[in-house]
Amino acid sequence: MRAFFILLAFLFMVPRVMAESGAQVPTFDVDRNCSAEASSGANIQQTKADCQRDEAEAKKQLDQRWSKLSAGVKRQCITESTIGGDQSYVELLTCLQMSSDWGDDRTVGETPPKAGRP
């Protein structure tokens, strides 16, 4: 029964997050996720602070590059970074970095030009 409620929560969460895959980085509840992560650690306050710092840094990087990312890559990585109800900018950033040429000036996810063409 618990799995049903988790699945139901996931199904309601994904469409909202997917709708945000456009012009701006989606809004994740970092405090909730970092609290959950910290609850299993030995030093709860430090673990939560470290998590929040990592999430803020990842969000900053995403904000800087978001407009260069293709919609398909964003959609795929948003889906992957929200599996199980967790939402993480760190996971979203990692997915985008791994599935694309993050440092290229062209739009990420765009097919590179053929040799001899601009």
Give SS3 for 102: coil
| Eight-class DSSP state of 82 | T
d(C-alpha 70, C-alpha 65), whole Å: 11
Q: What pLDDT, in 10s, does the model give residues 1-45?
A: 554 444 445 444 544 444 444 679 999 999 998 998 888 778 889
Read off the pLDDT of residues 52-83 as tens digits, 9 standing for 90 and up. Answer: 999 999 999 999 999 988 899 999 999 988 88
pLDDT for position 18: 43
**Predicted local confidence at residue 65, as pLDDT:** 92
pTM of model > 0.75 = no
Nearest C-alpha neighbor of 79 from the set 8, 33, 26: 26
